[in-house]
C-alpha cells in the first residue's frame, strides 16, 4: 500500500458536502472523511467527531511512548492497526 496525492473528484466534493451537512463537520474534516470513504481507506484519527461518521472507517491511534523513539512507536502502531 502506498501513499499518494489524489485530486478532488465530484464524488468526493458531493460526499464532503453531505458529511458537512449531516455531521456538522468543518470543511477540512469533511474533505478528509469523504476522501477516505470514497477510496475505501482507513482513517487514523483520535477525533471523536469523525468516529461518529458511520460511513467512515476510523481507527484510533494511541501514542503511549515518550518522545524518544516516537517515530518507531508510531510506525509500529500504524502497522498493527492496518493489519487488523
In a domain, 33, yes or no: yes
CA distance 17 to 24: 10
Q: What 3-state class would DSSP assign to 12?
A: helix
Question: How many separate domains does the chain show?
Answer: 1
In a domain, 50, yes or no: yes
In a domain, 55, yes or no: yes
In a domain, 2, yes or no: no
CA 59-65-66 angle, to 5 degrees, is 140
pLDDT tens track for 28-62: 999 999 999 999 999 999 999 999 999 999 999 87
| Domain assignment of residue 76, given as a range | 10-82
Among 33, 11, 35, which Cα is nearest to 20's? 33
Q: Are the beta carbons of 15 and 34 closer than 8 angstroms?
A: yes
In a domain, 3, yes or no: no
Query: For the chain, how far is it from start to end, CA to CA, in angstroms?
Result: 15
pLDDT tens track for 58-84: 999 876 655 566 666 666 666 666 666
In a domain, 1, yes or no: no
In a domain, 5, yes or no: no
Amino acid at each position: 500500500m502506498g501513499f499518494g496525492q489524489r485530486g478532488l473528484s465530484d464524488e468526493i466534493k458531493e460526499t464532503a458536502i453531505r458529511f458537512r451537512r449531516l455531521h456538522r463537520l468543518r470543511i477540512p474534516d469533511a474533505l478528509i472523511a469523504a476522501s477516505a470513504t470514497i477510496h475505501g481507506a482507513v482513517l487514523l484519527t483520535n477525533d471523536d467527531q469523525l468516529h461518529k461518521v458511520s460511513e467512515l472507517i476510523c481507527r484510533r491511534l494511541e501514542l503511549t511512548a515518550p518522545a524518544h523513539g516516537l517515530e518507531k512507536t508510531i510506525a509500529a502502531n500504524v502497522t498493527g492497526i492496518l493489519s487488523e
